[in-house]
Amino acid sequence: EEMEDVSLELEAMDAVYRHDCKILQRWPPHLEVLLKPRTADELPLQFVEIVLSIKAGDKYPSHPPKFELVLVKGLDVSRQINLLTGLELEANRLSNEPMLVTISEFAVDFLTSNNYPEGDCCFCLFPLALDHAHQHYMKLMSCFHCFHSDCFSDWWKWLPADSTAS
pLDDT in tens, the chain (166 residues): 678 889 999 999 999 999 999 999 999 999 999 999 998 777 778 889 999 999 999 999 999 999 999 999 989 999 999 999 999 999 999 999 999 999 999 999 999 999 988 778 888 888 876 555 545 666 665 667 777 778 877 777 887 655 655 5
Q: Write out the residue range of the structural domain in which residue 151 sits.
A: 119-166
What Å distances lie between residue 144 and 13, 48, 139, CA to CA?
A: 26, 8, 6
Instruction: Report the pLDDT value the prediction gives residue 163, as an integer from 0 to 100.
Output: 60
Amino acid identity of residue 7, one-letter, is S
**Does residue 124 come out as left (phi exceeding 0), alpha (psi in the -120 to 50 range) or beta?**
alpha
Question: Which of 69, 96, 113 is the C-terminal boundary of a domain?
Answer: 113
Are 55 and 105 members of one domain? yes
Query: Based on the structure, what is the number of domains in the chain?
Result: 2
Distance of CA 125 to the CA centre of its chain: 25
User: What distance in Å separates the CA atoms of residue 147 and residue 29, rounded to the nearest whole number?
Assistant: 40
